Amino acid sequence: MSEANTAEGLDFIRAIIRDDVAAGTHGGKVVTRFPPEPNGFLHIGHAKSICLNFGAAAENDGVTHLRFDDTNPTTEDKRYVEAMKEDIRWLGFDWGENLFHASDYFHQLYGYAEQLIESGKAYVDSSTEEEIRTLRGSVTSPGQVSPYRDRSLKENLDLFRRMRACEFSDGTHVLRAKIDMASPNMLMRDPLLYRIRRAHHYRTGDEWCIYPLYDFAHGLSDSIEGITHSLCTLEFENNREVYDWILDNLDVPSPRPRQYEFARLNLAYTVVSKRRLLPLIEAGLVNGWDDPRMPTLAALRRRGVPPSAIRAFCDMIGVAKVENRVDLGKLEYAIRTDLNPMAPRVMCVLRPLKLVLTNYAAGETEELEAPYFPSDIGKEGSRSVPFGRELLIERDDFSEDPPKGFHRLAPGREVRLRYGYIVRCVDVVKSKDGEIQEIHCTYDPDTRGGSAPDGRKIKGTIHWVSALHALPAEVRLYDRLFLKENPDAIGEDEDFRDGVNPESLIVLAGARIEPSVAADPPDTHYQFERQGYFYRDPVDSAPDALIFNRTVTLRDSWAKKTPSTLTAGDSPAPKAPSPGSAQTAPRVHRPEDAEAEARFNRYTSEFGLPEADAGVLAQEADLSDYFERALTGSAPPRPIANWIINDLPRVLEGRSLSEFPVEPADLAHLVQMVEAGALNMRSGREVLDVMASTGGSPDAIVEAQGLRQISDRATLEPIIVELVDAHPDEAAAYRSGKHGLIGFFVGQVMRSTGGKADPEVVQELLRSHLG
C-alpha cells in the first residue's frame, strides 16, 4: 500500500478526515468532490487533486462526486466535459452515480440568493464595473460603500427578480453580499454573487441570463450535495472566509461542509495551468491538448504513460501546504518503475548504420529466439527475430575513436549482438567526405544466442535489426517542453512561450524496427532495448506507417559520466546562502503610552521580569490586568508571567480575555501547584486545557483526572527497570554513547505513567540504571 495509507505519515488532509471520522462529525461519513471547470483539459496537477479526493474518500469508505463547476457560460464547453470524464475514468477512478453540475443547482442557488436578500444580507448594486473596482479600495486602504448598498429589501428583491427576467442589459446590475467594505480581506468587501450575462450555456441553454459567481455557487453546491470535506488549492485560502460566511448566513443543513486547502503541484520545466496551456496551443508551439509534450492527461496517455504510473507518482509527492516544484526525475522514476515489469522488450534502431557480416553467407537468413522479458522480470514469452548478413545497428554504438570506458563497437573490437552472435569489427567503409557508410564485421558462428563457449567475457551488447526484414518506423523523441525549471519566472514584458525548448520534439523518420511488432496489439507499451519505453502513437500511427512515441528514456548511468552528451548545462544554480540571519536581537515591545510604560518599568524592576516578557505583558491593559490579578495569589510573578505568555495564547483560541473562562486566581493556583511539585508541567498544561475548554477549578480537575505528580523513587524504580529490560537494543545503544535516547526512555516512562511521572526524577533514575 502507499505511504499515505500507513497509520503514521498521513498527510494533513487525511489526518483531518481521520479525526472527523473518529469524532463522528458528519456521522462518520466522508464525501469529497472533484469540481473541475469544463474550460480546458485535465492535467497532471488535476491528477494530484483527483487522487487525493477519490483516494481519501475511498480509504474511509466514502464517495467522491464529480461536479462540473459550470457557472461561467462564456468559457465552458461540452467537449471539455466529455474529455474530462474520459480522463478521470482512464486514471482509474469511478464517480458511479455521482455526476453533478453546478448548473443543476441554478434554481436552488437562485432561491438562496433571494433568501439572502430577504434577510438583508445581499443587495443589488447598480454601479458600473469601474465604480465597483474603485470603491473596493486597495489592500492597504479600506473600500467605500456603494451608494446602492442601502436599498430597501423590497427594491432589492424587485430588482433581482427583474435581473432574472432579463429586463436589464449585461453589466447594469449585480447582486452583492453585504459584508464589510473595510475588511482586510479584499474578498470580503461585499463579494459579487450574481452577474447578468446574456450567454448561451452549454447545458441550460438560454434559460438564464444571470449566472452565480464562484464564491456563491461553490460552497452552496457542496452543501447541496452533502460534501463533508471540500478540498481545493492554496489560492482559495482567502476565499474560505467567504465560503464560511455564505453557509453561515443561509439556512443550510448542518453540519455543513468545510473547506481545506493544499498546495497545487508544480512540475519542473513544465507549466501546469490552463491559462498557460491554451496559449501554447494557440501559438502552434504544440499540436493541441494531447500533444505528447503537454502535461495533460490526454497527452500523457498518448505518450504512453500508464495511469498506474501517474497514481504512483501522486502517492510519492504527498500532499502539504508548501509551495513546491517536483523534479521531473520523480515522474520519470514512477513511469519506469511501472513500465519495467509490463513492457515487452523489442529491438528498434533509431539512427541506423549498416553492418555487414563478411563471413556470413549472402542470401542466407535465420530466426533467433528472443525472450520478451529479462529473467529478473520472471515473465514467459518470446518471439523470433530474423538475422542475416546485412544488419542495422545504432550509429551511436560504433565509435571509430572510442573514449575511455566505451564498450560498444570499435575497430578491431568485439561486441555481442543481443540474442545473436558475437561480432568483431574488421573494417570501416567511408564516403568521400569521410562519413561512415558501413561497418564490416566477422561473426563467430560458435556464439549463437550470444554466449561464448570458450568463456571469454564480452563487455558490450548492442541491439540490431535485420536490414532485409526490419520495418520502417518514425520515432518521436520528446524532451522537457521548457528550457527553464520555472517557465513562469519571467520578466514583466516577457512571454513565457519564448522559453519553449526547441528540441522538445525530435522526429526520427528513418528508424527500423524488428518485424514482430506488426502482430502486436496497438496499445502495447514496449521497451526498445537500451533506449527507453515507447508507445505506438494512437493518433498518427498506421499499420503500414508505424509511428512510436518515446514515453521515457531508460536510465543511462553511462551518459551521465560523459559530459559530452549535452545534458549538462542546466544544473541548478547553487542556492544563495540564506540571508535570513540578520542577527537582530529580539525586539522588545516598548510600551508607547505612559501607563503601559509605568507597568513595564514596574514589571522589570519590581518583579525582575526580562524586558521582552515585561513588554508583552505591559503592552495591553487587559493582559496587564489579568497578570496583576493573578499575582494576588501565592505563586511568584516569574512563572505566572511565563504561563500567561507561553500557554495562554494556545488555550485562548482566539477568544478575548474578557470571554476567557479561566479566572486569574485559578491560573495562579494552578501555577502554584506546579511550582510546588504537586503537578508536573505537562499535567499542568493539561489542566489548563480543561479549564479553558470546559471550566472548573484546578483542584477538582487534578483530582478527577488523578494528575498528581509521581516523584516517589520507590514507585518509579520498578517501572524504569521494566522499561529498560523491555528495550534492550535501545539500552545498548544508549550505553554505547547514543545519549539522545534518554528522550526516548523518558518519553516511554511518561507514557506508561499517564504523563504523571516527575521527569527530572525519571531522568536521574534512568541515568543511573543505564549507567
77 C-beta neighbours (distance < 10 Å), count: 14
Stretch that binds RNA, among 51-59, 148-156, 551-559, 591-599 (CB under 7 A): 551-559
Neighbours of 629 (CB within 10 A): 14
**Of 311, 416, 476, 536, which one interacts with RNA (CB under 7 A)?**
416
Least separation in angstroms between CB 269 and RNA: 12
Candidates 49-57, 79-87, 222-230, 638-646; binding stretch for RNA (CB under 7 A): 638-646
* 336 sits near RNA (criterion: CB under 7 A): yes
CB half-sphere exposure, 53, CA atoms < 13 A: 32
Q: How far is the CB of 732 from RNA (least distance, A)?
A: 11
Among 496, 476, 480, which Cα is nearest to 570's?
A: 480
Q: Outline where DSSP puts E strands in 340-396.
A: 345-346, 348-349, 352-357, 365-371, 382-388, 390-394
**Residue 458, SS3?**
coil
- In 6-98, which ranges are E strands? 31-34, 63-68
Q: How far is it, in rounded angstroms, from Cα 233 to Cα 261?
A: 5
Q: Grid coordinates standing for 42?
A: 485535465
Torsion angle of alpha carbons 666, 668, 670, 671, nearest 10°?
170
Instruction: Name which position in 157, 733, 753, 770 contacts RNA (CB under 7 A).
Output: 733
Q: Are 207 and 73 in contact (CB under 8 A)?
A: no
Q: Closest Cα to residue 114, out of 157, 159, 153, 151?
A: 157
Q: Which is nearer to RNA, 522 or 747 (CB)?
A: 747
Report in angstroms how near the CB of residue 396 gets to RNA at its nearest. 9
Kindly identify the residues of this chain, within the stretch 47-76, that bind RNA according to CB under 7 A. 69, 71-72, 75
Contact flag: residue 707 with RNA (CB under 7 A):
no
Q: Which of 85, 161, 197, 708 lies at the binding interface for RNA (CB under 7 A)?
A: 197
User: Of 365-404, which residues contact RNA (CB under 7 A)?
Assistant: 373-374, 376-377
Give 19: exposed, middle or buried? Use CB within 10 Å, 0-12, 13-18, 19+: exposed
- The nearer residue to RNA, 612 or 719, going by C-beta atoms, is 612
For RNA, the binding residue among 92, 460, 538, 636 (CB under 7 A) is 460
Give me the DSSP letters along 661-676.
---HHHHHHHHHHHHH
340 touches RNA by CB under 7 A: yes
Nearer to RNA, 144 or 763 (CB): 763
Q: How far is CA 153 from each of CA 148, 249, 251, rounded to the nearest angstrom?
A: 12, 16, 18
Asked if residue 327 binds RNA (CB under 7 A), the reply is yes
Q: Which is nearer to RNA, 29 or 149 (CB)?
A: 149
Nearer to RNA, 186 or 542 (CB): 186
**Which of 253, 255, 449, 695 is close enough to bind RNA by CB under 7 A?**
449
- Is 37 a catalytic site residue? yes
Selected catalytic residue, list 264, 418, 484, 497: 264
Q: Beta partners for 534?
A: 526, 550
- Cβ proximity to RNA: between 91 and 552 the closer is 552
Q: Are 215 and 193 in contact (CB under 8 A)?
A: yes
223 versus 291: smaller Cβ distance to RNA: 223
Closest approach, Cβ 437 to RNA, in A, equals 23
Options 240, 258, 274, 301, the catalytic residue: 274
Out of 310, 319, 392, 678, the residue judged to bind RNA by CB under 7 A = 319
Binding-site member from 359, 646, 715, 768 for RNA (CB under 7 A): 646
Nearer to RNA, 211 or 291 (CB): 211
Nearer to RNA, 291 or 487 (CB): 487
Of 25, 750, 752, 769, the residue at the interface with RNA (CB under 7 A) is: 750
Which ranges of 569-680 does DSSP label H, i.e. alpha helix? Answer: 594-605, 611-619, 621-630, 637-646, 648-652, 664-676
Q: What is the largest CA-CA distance in the chain?
A: 110
Nearest approach in angstroms of CB 58 to RNA is 18
**Which residues between 752 and 771 bind RNA (CB under 7 A)?**
759-760, 763
Q: Which of residues 142-171 bind RNA (CB under 7 A)?
A: 170-171
Q: Contacts with RNA in 559-588 (CB under 7 A)?
A: 559-561, 572, 575, 578-587
Nearest-angstrom CA–CA distance, 252 and 178: 19
Shortest CB 434 distance to RNA, Å: 23
User: Could you tell me the three cell numbers for 25?
Assistant: 462529525
Contact between 624 and RNA per CB under 7 A: no
Q: Which of residues 227-286 bind RNA (CB under 7 A)?
A: 234-239, 263, 275
How many Cα atoms within 13 Å fall on the side-chain side of residue 690?
18
Interface with RNA (CB under 7 A), residue from 1, 22, 23, 139: 139
The minimum distance between CB 417 and RNA, in angstroms, equals 8
Give, as ranges, the residues between 89 and 128 that touch RNA (CB under 7 A).
127-128
Q: Which residues, in sequence order, are CB contacts of 575 under 8 Å at separation 6+? A: none
Among 26, 345, 480, 599, binds RNA (CB under 7 A): 345
Q: Smallest distance from the beta carbon of 421 to RNA, in angstroms?
A: 9
Quote the CA–CA distance of 701 and 681 in Å, as a whole number. 15
Shortest gap between Cβ of 675 and RNA (angstroms)?
Answer: 9
To RNA, the closest distance from the beta carbon of 171 in angstroms equals 4
Closer to RNA by Cβ: residue 48 or 536: 48
Q: What is the CA radius of gyration of the chain?
A: 36
What is the nearest approach in angstroms of RNA to the Cβ of residue 157? Answer: 19
The smaller minimum CB distance to RNA, of residues 386 and 450, is found at 450
Residue length of the chain:
771
Per-residue HEC secondary structure of 77-146 comes to CHHHHHHHHHHHHHHCCCCCCCEEEHHHHHHHHHHHHHHHHHCCCEEEECCCHHHHHHHCCCCCCCCCCC
Nearer to RNA, 324 or 539 (CB): 324
**82: contact with RNA by CB under 7 A:** no
CA quadruple 508, 511, 516, 518: dihedral sign: positive
203 makes contact with RNA (CB under 7 A): no
671 binds RNA (CB under 7 A): no
Is residue 582 within 8 Å of residue 556, measured between CB atoms? no
* Active-site residue, from 18, 29, 37, 424: 37
Binding footprint of RNA, residue count (CB under 7 A): 137
Among 93, 50, 49, 100, smallest CA distance to 70 is for 100
The question of whether 114 is a catalytic residue gets the answer: no
Beta bridge partners of 103: none
> Is 397 or 537 the residue whose CB approaches RNA more closely?
397
Q: Within positions 8 to 47, which residues make up the interface with RNA, using CB under 7 A?
A: 8-12, 15, 35, 37
User: What's the CA gap between 652 and 634, in Å, rounded?
Assistant: 23
Q: Does 451 bind RNA (CB under 7 A)?
A: yes
Q: How far is the CB of 601 from RNA (least distance, A)?
A: 19
| Sequence-separated (6 or more) residues with CB below 8 Å from residue 561 | 405
Tell me the closest approach of the beta carbon of residue 515 to RNA, in angstroms: 19
492 is catalytic: no
Within positions 491 to 530, which residues make up the interface with RNA, using CB under 7 A? 527, 529-530
The catalytic site residues sit at 37, 264, 274
